[in-house]
């Protein structure tokens, strides 16, 4: 999942960028997208039982930079998790909401990274 590059014009309040499970992104007026295209979170799960209904859990995730203290947070995960097919495979699509800190600190031109812990239950 990648939200692309953007400029946060105002971080005095928390602002949210929303990515749906298909990878379409909605930005508020205070956040201006720049040149990078967002990338959807699509994962193929294998070795499931055939035709197994599944559910997916993803906890909130903090995105940090190696250079700067200001963080982003991913919440409100929107998940499309169809039952596995006859081969025991399922294609998960995950959307989420990215929140700015709202602490009045700026964001630099850095990569912000985090690890999403995805739990698949069947």
pLDDT score recorded for residue 111? 92
Pairing state between β 90-99 and 55-57: unpaired
Handedness of CA 36, 26, 94, 74 (dihedral sign): positive
**91 pLDDT tier (thresholds 50, 70, 90):** very high
**What percent of the chain is predicted at pLDDT more than 90?**
93
pTM: 0.92
Domain residue ranges in the chain? 6-105
Residue 20 phi/psi, 5° resolution? -85, 170
Give the residue among 28, 98, 41, 103 at the shortest CA–CA distance from 70: 103
Pairing state between β 16-19 and 25-26: antiparallel
**77 pLDDT tier (thresholds 50, 70, 90):** very high
- In whole numbers, what is the pLDDT of the chain averaged over residues? 95
């Amino acid at each position: 999942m990648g939200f692309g590059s953007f400029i946060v014009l105002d971080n005095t309040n928390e602002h949210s960028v929303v990515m749906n499970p298909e990878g379409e992104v909605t930005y508020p007026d205070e956040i201006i997208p720049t040149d990078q295209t967002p990338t959807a979170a699509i994962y193929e799960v294998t070795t499931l039982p055939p035709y197994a209904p599944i559910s997916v859990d993803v906890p909130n995730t903090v995105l940090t930079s190696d250079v700067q203290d200001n963080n982003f947070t991913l919440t409100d995960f929107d998940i499309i998790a169809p039952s596995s097919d006859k081969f025991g495979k399922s294609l998960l699509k995950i959307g989420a909401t990215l929140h700015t800190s709202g602490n009045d600190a700026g964001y630099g031109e850095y990569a912000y990274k985090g690890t999403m812990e995805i739990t698949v239950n069947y």
